[in-house]
Structure 1
């Protein structure tokens, strides 16, 4: 079973709150098994290679010119598409205003519960 982690970027830089979420996913992986997969909606790669050191086993870029800044519909589609393909045991979001806005949108689209 995998753990999907939404990675937040702003201004072409990965935010540190994403590293915290990846660290938690790494610890949970010990109990759940599987792998930690980071999903990163972005306009261009903001340095996804650094996510391995933060705990990601795999990184999925959802690169599109319209995803350079937060677009609720676009980000939701990107995370939902990854979740539908991977069928993760958990999806983690950073405890940020963006994460708190996006998580319920994704949960509603997937028809799953949300714990915060």
Structure 2
């Protein structure tokens, strides 16, 4: 049985990503991503996640994010079950934005969380 999903707050997530210790994996759908995302995030929509994909390297820590944290928590559970290191961004992109962290849209303009 897996332990409870580990969660990190937006500032901790930003630190992990900024130090190179983790990849911020945004699992929201295309329209959500296009409206606004963290500049350093990698986009992999939930509908396209292949939990056996070798690109999801076992040694890499993933901080997984969605809008509010529910979908990303499910992805974290599945990644951990597949042997990957992963944690959930508590509160999702909503919390990221409230924390004053940058949100950009395609083209680098200021974005919004939908």
State the TM-score, normalized to the length of structure 2: 0.41
More helix by share: 1
Which structure's residues are more often strand, by fraction? 1
Q: TM-score, normalised by structure 1?
A: 0.40
